[in-house]
Amino acid sequence: MDICRHYSPVVEKFSIDECFLDMTGTQNLYPDPVKIAYIIKNEINKKLGFTVNIGISCNKLLAKMASDFEKPDKIHTLFPEEIKTKLWPLPVRDLFLVGRATAEKLEHSGIHTIGELAIANLNSIQTLLGKKPGQQLYEYANGIDLSPVLPEPEQAKGYSVSTTLAQDVISIEDANKILLELADSVTTRIRTDHVRCYCISVNIRNNKFQNRSHQRKLDEATDITKEVYEVSKELLAELWKNRTPLRLIGISLMQIVHENEIQMSLFQDKNKERARKLDHAMDDIRSRYGLDKVKRGSTFQNPLEIGKKYRAQFETKKE
């Protein structure tokens, strides 16, 4: 992020390892967008030791789609005049924000590519997906995105992470291993933002596409992975008594407060402080050497091979 800020006055952090740069007004300094993209990519590799993909376009949606083209260590453009040749032939499930269930609905209706969605009847799409989601995905298929690059994001009121499963989960042991990875991911994000949560929620979707959720309010705000994980396990056990096979598991952290707003207790829990120090040590290792360099022991030996067979969808909610 710091390297990117050397090249653009407006940088929006999109996720833990993605950002948007608004290069408006820098044409005199950087007249060739592809050339400056290579300079940024190579500087990141030289200074930090890892590769990145960069997508270039006139809006965030097209830049994001371009960045997800062939990987790794690539630079791609996706300008409006390239939409028909580069975007429209792609499967509709590759479009940003199209999840598995939405893709299945579209495919069952005869829409298999992004191009077919782009030229479909808007009213029919809205009837199929809902008015607002249908409108948004129809616009995305046509390369339309009017959202600005925001240098200072709004204060998040909630953080959530969910995983859509490629195969049914039927045992509590496997479900708990997934919960641990989700808890680890979402607490890393709140520690990065120097906030804590007073409320934890777990949501599930079974293979009949029935959704359920359960939440618990905490007496003390937390950002500790182990604490979020233990509460999440209890919530899942209460939610999933019938053991109907699961297709989605998610964790949400709500009632967010900044660290500076928390009054420290005179009698600090030494176990919590040790756990917090461990979390920060792991965060530091990952920030320096990559997200996959250190994992919690309980996530190993997973017969479902989390991360290989599952497609995770991460979202920071601003409500």
Give the pLDDT score at 166. Answer: 79
> Is residue 92 a contact partner of residue 111, using CB atoms and an 8 Å limit?
yes
For residues 143 and 84, give the distance between their C-alpha atoms in angstroms, rounded to a whole number: 10
**pLDDT at position 157:** 77
Active site residue 43: no
pLDDT at position 280: 80
Q: What's the pLDDT score for residue 265? A: 53
Say whether pTM exceeds 0.75: no
Instruction: For Cα atoms 216, 251, 283, give the angle at the middle one, nearest 5 degrees.
Output: 110
The whole-chain average pLDDT of the chain stands at 87
Q: Supply the pLDDT for residue 313.
A: 39
Ramachandran region of residue 80, left (φ > 0), alpha (ψ -120 to 50) or beta? Answer: alpha
CATH of 2-82, one of 3.30.70.270, 1.10.10.1150, 3.80.10.10, 1.10.150.110: 3.30.70.270
Query: Where in the chain are the domains?
Result: 2-82, 100-141, 158-317
Name the least confident of 55-69, 177-191, 263-277, 290-304.
290-304
Which residue of the set 18, 220, 261, 273 is catalytic? 18
Interval 66-78 mean pLDDT: 95
Is the bond into 148 cis (omega within 30 degrees of 0)? no
* Distance in angstroms (rounded) separating the CA atoms of residues 297 and 201: 24
181 pLDDT more than 50: yes
pLDDT tens digits, 258-289: 887 776 554 566 787 888 888 888 888 877 76
Between the CA of residue 203 and those of 137, 163, 264, 289, what are the distances in Å? Answer: 25, 10, 31, 32
pLDDT of 167 reads 86
The average pLDDT across 54-60 equals 97
The b/e string for 16-50 (b: 16+ C-beta within 10 A; e otherwise) is: eeeebbbbeebeeeeeebeebbeebbeebeeeeee
190 Cβ contact partners less than 8 Å away, ≥ 6 residues apart: 159, 196, 197, 223, 253, 256
pLDDT greater at residue 16 or residue 163: 163
Q: What value does the mean pLDDT take over residues 214-229?
A: 93
Give me the pLDDT at residue 300, please: 46
Instruction: Give yes or no for residue 308 having a pLDDT over 80.
Output: no
**3-state DSSP assignment of residue 12:** strand
Q: Report the pLDDT value the prediction gives residue 293, as an integer from 0 to 100.
A: 53
- Cβ pair 200, 265 in contact under 8 A: no
Residue bearing the bigger pLDDT, 194 or 314: 194
- Residue 197 and residue 218 in contact, taking contact as beta carbons nearer than 8 Å: yes
**Average pLDDT for 82-105:** 95
Specify the residue for token string 């009698």.
267
Residue 307 pLDDT greater than 50, yes or no:
no
DSSP states along 14-46: EETTEEEEE-TT-TTT-S-HHHHHHHHHHHHHH
Q: Which residues pair with 113 in a beta bridge?
A: 91
Domain made up of 158-317: CATH architecture: 2-Layer Sandwich (3.30)
Q: What is the pLDDT confidence band of residue 27, given thresholds at 50, 70 and 90?
A: confident
2-82 and 158-317 share one fold = no
Q: Is the pLDDT of residue 42 over 90?
A: yes
pLDDT for the residue 43: 96
Instruction: State how far the Cα of 42 lies from the Cα of 123, in Å rounded to an integer.
Output: 46
Tell me how far the alpha carbon of residue 59 is from its chain's centroid.
19
* pLDDT attached to residue 316: 43
| More confident of the two residues 10 and 269 | 10
pLDDT in tens, 125-162: 999 999 999 999 999 999 999 999 988 655 667 899 99
Whole-angstrom distance, CA of residue 294 vs CA of residue 283: 9
The token duo for 124 is 């029919």
